[in-house]
Amino acid sequence: MGRTVGRSRCPCFPAVERGGAAPSLGVERGGAAPSLGVERGGAAPSLGVERRGGSAADEAGARWTRVTTPHGAPGSARHEVTTRHPNVAEPRPTPHPYSKIEGTPRPDRSLGWVLTRKGCAVSDLENPRRTPTDAEAGTPSRGASLDQVLQVSASLAAAMNSVIEGKQAVVRTAITVLLAEGHLLVEDVPGVGKTLLAKTLARSIDCTVRRVQFTPDLLPSDITGVSVFNQDVRDFEFRPGAIFANVVVGDEINRASPKTQSALLESMEEAQVTVDGKTYTLPKPFMVMATQNPIEMEGTYPLPEAQRDRFMARISMGYPSARSELAMLDLHGGVSPLEDLQPVTDAATVSSMVQAVREVHASQSVRQYIVDLTHATRSSTALRLGASPRATLHLLRASRAHAALAGRDHVLPDDVQQVAVPVLAHRLIPTGETQMARRTTADVVGDLLQRVRVPAPTR
């Protein structure tokens, strides 16, 4: 009989003999030794062995096997033993959960962490073809109805209006941008509640929230993340930055340098981040709410055109009325109401509402009206730079969200006119004559709304 080279730690698992086709299970020599059922591309395992791993090295030999014997130690019904091939090194740690590459871990109910290959996860031992549930996938099973959109939006607006006094129109625009899958830029003088608006919207939703204070010494890696060498595993691991959240609040974005501002370009347009050649998908829903002071303020850097064009809308808080400011003294004179604000919805519900907004119908005449408006900005003599094709797409999405908040399943030209100024004005660059006439780009958009022909209602 061959020399024994190794023994299992388990008292019920026999030693592995050299020279045999399979480890013995207590059968005398000369008899047929029962198979352990190691699954390697052949028939189904007879004793419940599942092959772990999924790397290219597994094509040459199994690295890890989990053996489930039908009769384990005395008094137990099952007994599991994990063995390793003596000539194969231990597997390396799995990549970060944000990674898109093969080998992304996901929780499994029966076997703990298992590896996935090309997006197909190794499922339970009892049901290898089990479909992941909605909670595991992180997305709702179906879109919300317009009634649910109205109900949740009303609760969201009520929660925000309980903190922000006298700014119902601003709150409505912020919710519109949220449902339209856009990003919001709040520009105004200091002290009017820009950051408070962003924090109120973020706290009203039960989701991940990150706040970034933009300063001149802020680095792009502080936002996107960085790869750090781990001495324990002797490999680089990715540390996510502040951009990995459902709602990102960027305070005073124009205080940072243009190099740091450009770190948001990919994430705002494609909802992903690329670091060291690897792409990481951001969670959904994803929204950036940034505040900035006017560019004539000291120590600011104006946002480049490419950065401004990625914001769906720009709003201005403005000074409150005398009545609203008096109510603010009573409301905020002691404890801030933001501390007692409770979430009224969650990320999954917001995602279902976004899906419902996508299905709002926009007729061909309304689409043509949107295109006519954007083309009018490009041919206007009062503007040096007109609206981009991205602005046309954002105008359509914002119009759908505005119609859904009104309880309609179709877009009207009135919806387009209501969102045209906040969606288009910040993307336009006026000519010198327009600036000398003290006309803003919002005034130019208002003039274009009066000139462009409104489509007649269809029957």
Question: CB under 8 Å to 49, separation ≥6 — which residues?
Answer: 36, 37, 38, 39, 65, 66, 67, 68
Structure tokens at 31: 């008899």
Question: For residue 285, is the peptide bond before it cis, meaning its omega torsion is within 30 degrees of 0?
Answer: yes
Rounded CA gap, 161 and 174, in Å? 12
In this prediction, what percent of the chain has a pLDDT beyond 70? 68
Please return the burial class of 161, using the count of CB atoms within 10 Å of its CB with bins 0-12, 13-18 and 19+.
middle
Segment 246-302, tens digit of pLDDT:
999 999 999 999 889 989 999 999 999 999 889 999 999 999 999 998 866 777 888
Residues 166-201: tens digit of each pLDDT: 899 999 999 999 999 999 999 988 888 898 999 999
Domain boundaries, the chain: 1-86, 92-132, 151-341, 360-459
Region of poorest pLDDT, from 135-139, 391-395, 443-447: 135-139
> For residue 372, is pLDDT > 80?
yes
* C-beta of residue 430 within 8 angstroms of C-beta of residue 444: yes
CATH superfamily of 151-341: P-loop containing nucleotide triphosphate hydrolases (3.40.50.300)
Point out the least confidently predicted range of 59-63, 291-295, 335-339: 59-63
SS3 content of the chain, % helix, strand, coil (to 5): 35, 20, 45
Contacts 24+ apart (CB under 8 A), 68-75: 69/12, 69/13, 72/12, 73/10, 73/11, 73/12
The CATH fold assigned to 360-459 is: Helicase, Ruva Protein; domain 3 (1.10.8)
Q: What is the mean pLDDT of residues 387-397?
A: 96
Same fold yes or no, 151-341 and 360-459:
no
Pick the closest to residue 178 from 272, 315, 302 (CA basis): 315
- A 10 A CB-CB count for 187 gives 20
Q: What is the reported pLDDT for 134?
A: 41
**Edge-to-edge order in the sheet of strand 105-108:** 105-108, 112-117, 120-121
Instruction: State which amino acid sits at residue 294.
Output: P
What is the average pLDDT across 406-434?
95
Rounded to 10°, the helix 364-379/413-424 angle is 30
